[in-house]
A and B are shown apart, each in its own frame.
Chain A
Amino acid sequence: MKELKIARLKEGTVIDHIKSENTFRVARILGLENSSSMVTIGANLDSTKMGRKGLIKIENKFLNEKEANKIALVAPEANLCIIRNSQVEKKIRLEVPDELRGLARCINTNCVTNHEKAETRFIVESKEPLKLRCHYCERIFGKGDLEIL
């Protein structure tokens, strides 16, 4: 039997169909542990499509482009919906942008961006599998080394 465990949102954002293992990473990069909004986090929920999935609902919060791009990096499979007046106003397709600015830290400790006040910048060399090149130190690295700011 399927029962409703999570209340409907009136205004806010729903991030659905997150791969279960990515759920808390998404919550972390959105800084939800410090949020004053009403937040619902569901992990390992039953899903007909995915088997198990994660779900995050945040009341009165509408993600900006930068936040959507961060989610695209760690959970590109997720669906993002903007809810207004209890209705889905907009579905946002998550896509890794061609260039990332100020979203992630460079893993190269000798990169100038880890020593000077400079916004990090990465060129996306490949989206699947994710491969990034630092605009400054030119080091190439993959998703496993990604450290979201």
Chain B
Amino acid sequence: MQFRGRDIISMRDFSKAEIEYLLDFSLNFKESDHALKGKVLSTLFFEPSTRTRLSFESAMASLGGSCIGFSDPSVSSIKKGESLSDTIKTVEGYCNAIIIRHPLEGSARLAADIASIPVINAGDGSNQHPTQTLTDLYTIRKSKGKLSGLRIGFLGDLKYGRTVHSLSLALSSFSNKLFFISSSALSMPDSYLESLDRSSPTEHTDRLDEIIGELDILYVTRIQQERFTDPLEYKKLKNTYHINLDMLKRAKPEMKIMHPLPRVDEIDTSVDATENSLYFQQASNGVTVRKALLALIIGGAK
């Protein structure tokens, strides 16, 4: 399989075989500190990010390459009113690949259509976050030894959470049972539900306590304040779901909790030390997967 020069925009663009290949490649990837020597990666963060940006920068540095970019659009030319198209056309002359995070849905696809170098989507509004999804799939497979026949619950902000939209789409094609747990105000939009592969049945509920005992994986997301225009609405929903040791008593001992982080107070810190917690491992897997992706896409590794 050839990934050199390829864009990573949406999980829709990958077949099951390609996903399996990417995960296998990540698992067996032998790091070489000069694989991307002399290569430059642009990180264009039109929206704040810590984990995603740092993990890309760390991945690039450990492969011998370097990063340029911005993490605060208010100090860049965007503030002066430059269009996204012009920014991309300019930046592509400076680097070998572009990482973009942008608040508008479809922005990464537009950038990829414009640029002649590979573009990697690091989050486009509430739509997709494919490198997080590949990290999540990698984490699930490493922990459970498989990607299918699992019972996976998604909890929290299912309306705006792009990691949920991206991951549920990918998991649905591997025949799993998906549980969507949220208040009605933050439930999965029909548009995303319609895209799911029919081979995976779904269930919807607002009661975590009633179904937590059935789950193999619980994927928790933060209620994102930046997606709300009404602060009261945000406050009301923020504390709806809280996972603590008491709640875990109902869960299977081997049930794993994942979270794309940062967390606010969805998961009590007392849960961190339990066998159920997988989120910090998941965060560290982000670097492994992104390293492998960069080596494939920029370095042409096979």
Contacts and interface: CB of A to CB of B under 8 A. Distances in A.
A138 B127 contact: yes
Contact of B109 (A110, A115, A136, A140): A136
**Consensus secondary structure, chain A interface:** loop
A112 B104 CA distance: 5
A87 B109 CA distance: 47
Given A108-B105, A111-B105, A112-B104, A137 B125 contact: yes
Contacts of A140: 191, 194-195
Contacts of B125: 110, 137
Contact of A112 (B10, B84, B128, B191): B84
Interface string B101-119: 0111111011000000000
A116 B105 contact: no
B123 to A, nearest CB: 13
Given A116-B85, A118-B85, A110 B105 contact: yes
Contacts of A116: 83-85, 104, 107, 110
A136 B85 contact: no
A119 to B, nearest CB: 10
Contacts of B83: 116-117
A52 interface: no
A7 B10 CA distance: 54
Interface in B159-191: 191
30 contacts: A108-B105, A110-B103, A110-B105, A110-B125, A111-B104, A111-B105, A112-B84, A112-B106, A112-B109, A112-B124, A115-B104, A116-B84, A116-B85, A116-B104, A116-B110, A117-B85, A118-B85, A135-B106, A136-B109, A137-B105, A137-B124, A138-B12, A138-B127, A138-B128, A138-B195, A139-B105, A139-B191, A140-B194, A140-B195, A141-B191
Nearest to A139: B191
A136 B195 CA distance: 15
A134 interface: yes
Report, as a range, how many residues of chain A touch the other chain.
10 to 19
A13 interface: no
A134 B194 contact: no
Interface residues of B, number: 21
Contact of A136 (B103, B105, B126, B191): B105
A111 B127 CA distance: 10
A2 to B, nearest CB: 47
Contacts of A139: 105, 191
A113 interface: yes
Interface in A91-149: 106, 108, 110-113, 115-118, 134-141
Interface in B115-142: 124-128
A108 B106 CA distance: 10
Contacts of A113: 106, 110
Given A112-B107, A138-B127, A138-B128, 19 more contacts: A108-B105, A110-B103, A110-B125, A110-B126, A111-B104, A111-B106, A112-B104, A112-B105, A112-B106, A112-B124, A113-B106, A116-B83, A116-B84, A116-B110, A136-B107, A136-B110, A137-B106, A138-B10, A138-B105
A136 B107 CA distance: 7
Interface string A53-97: 000000000000000000000000000000000000000000000
